[in-house]
Amino acid sequence: MYDKITDANFENSALKVNPPIEKPNQVNDEFLIKYKKKEDLSVENFVLGILNGDRTILSRAITLVESSRWDHQKKAQEIIENILPHAGKSIRVGITGVPGVGKSTLIDVLGKQLTSLGHKVAVLAIDPSSQRSHGSILGDKTRMEALSTDENAFIRPSPSAGSLGGVAKKTREIILLCEASGFDVIIVETVGVGQSEIAVHSMVDFFLLLQLANAGDELQGIKRGIMEMADAIAINKAEGENKEKAILAQGQYKNALHLFPIMESGWIPQVLTCSAYSKEGIDKIWEVINQYVIATKSNGYFYKKRNEQNLNILDQSIETQLKESFYNNSYIKDVIEQTKKDILENRISAYVAAEKLIENYFKEIKQIK
């Protein structure tokens, strides 16, 4: 027979459960600050984290930049304003070329060489097709296998939402964040499709075009405009049997470049051969980039270009914001479709219609004030 458990003998009973002891913190406070929900991290914490080279916080700041949420954008702008004095101290290199030319393989090898020299390398991308394909370049980090596990490298795929203009704006801001975080070489990769090259060119110091040696049609694969922007052309896959063809192509490109107008930088574009595969000629690419930086810093072009790029951002921002304000105006929203109809049915010319719309838009704005 068991004793019946009563209040009186309960204290000694095996059925009694002690109250839980509070579990001590397993992590230190610093860790907690870092891993608090994104929203909880203050601008100050973001800025400190970025300046301390904290990759998690850098990634989070980039996510804010990429977000289309208004409050995220606002926070991102505040962070950028704060880190701005610490940005700008890098060499910004744009790399382009058609898919398959070897961009990611080359960036992998070049990036590793640079980190072994003590550099910190950030690899970003502009890919206008990424809206459709969810990141066709840099989507897969394994494309840069060696670099993606290098603690002195940071690889970030292309922002995938928005227009090319929007993606370019975000990439520019990401460059600043990476620079403030201590990355001193920024590589921006893009595919050779035209518009995105112009966007990348507008944000880098040095523009490298990767090509292949296809005897006979060297100059056809890529638009002339892109060749004109290149500070260097590297003919990749120049190993083994391909080497001879590459050297031949090198000569042809050199001749072709002679026909182009002299660049404002005073720099004569270089034509190189390389193999990302056998790693030949990759160090030469870096040497040429350095020569370019030295030459253009000493003639002032380096700074002039950066200043121009900055002022272009002002121009573009004004244009974007005015357009947004115009098309979001309730009066314009009401009349725009009818105006378009009128133009198509020849009731009014597009010029006169634009003038009228703008005039009425400004009247509306005044009234709101």
Per CB under 6 A, the segment of 44-52, 93-101, 113-121, 295-303 that binds ligand GDP is: 93-101
Range in contact with ligand GDP (rule: CB under 6 A) among 4-12, 118-126, 224-232, 274-282: 274-282
Q: Tell me if 144 sits within 8 A of 111, measured CB to CB.
A: yes
190 binds ligand GDP (CB under 6 A): no
Supply the minimum distance, in Å, between the C-beta of residue 42 and ligand GDP. 39
Tell which one of 90, 104, 115, 270 touches ligand GDP (CB under 6 A): 104
Query: How far, in Å, CA of 38 to CA of 31, rounded?
Result: 13
Is 142 a residue that touches ligand GDP (CB under 6 A)?
A: no
CB atoms near residue 227 (< 10 Å): 17
- For position 97 contacting ligand GDP by CB under 6 A, the verdict is yes
Instruction: Please tell me whether residue 281 binds ligand GDP under the rule CB under 6 A.
Output: no
Q: Which of residues 108-127 bind ligand GDP (CB under 6 A)?
A: none
Check if the beta carbon of residue 189 is closer than 8 Å to that of residue 121: no
Is position 188 an interface residue for ligand GDP (rule: CB under 6 A)?
no
**How far is Cα 136 from Cα 133, in angstroms, rounded to an integer?**
6
Per-residue DSSP letter, 267: P
153: which 2 tokens? 């490298």
Q: Which is closer to ligand GDP, CB of 58 or CB of 191?
A: 191
Whether the Cβ atoms of residue 172 and residue 66 lie closer than 8 Å to each other: no
The values of phi and psi at residue 165, to 5°, are -60, -45
Provide long-range contacts, Cβ within 8 A and 24+ apart, for 306-311: 306/88, 306/205, 309/202, 309/203
157 binds ligand GDP (CB under 6 A): no
* 236 touches ligand GDP (CB under 6 A): yes
The answer to the question of residue 102 lying near ligand GDP (CB under 6 A) is yes
Tell me which residues touch ligand GDP (CB under 6 A): 97, 99-105, 143, 236-237, 239, 275-277
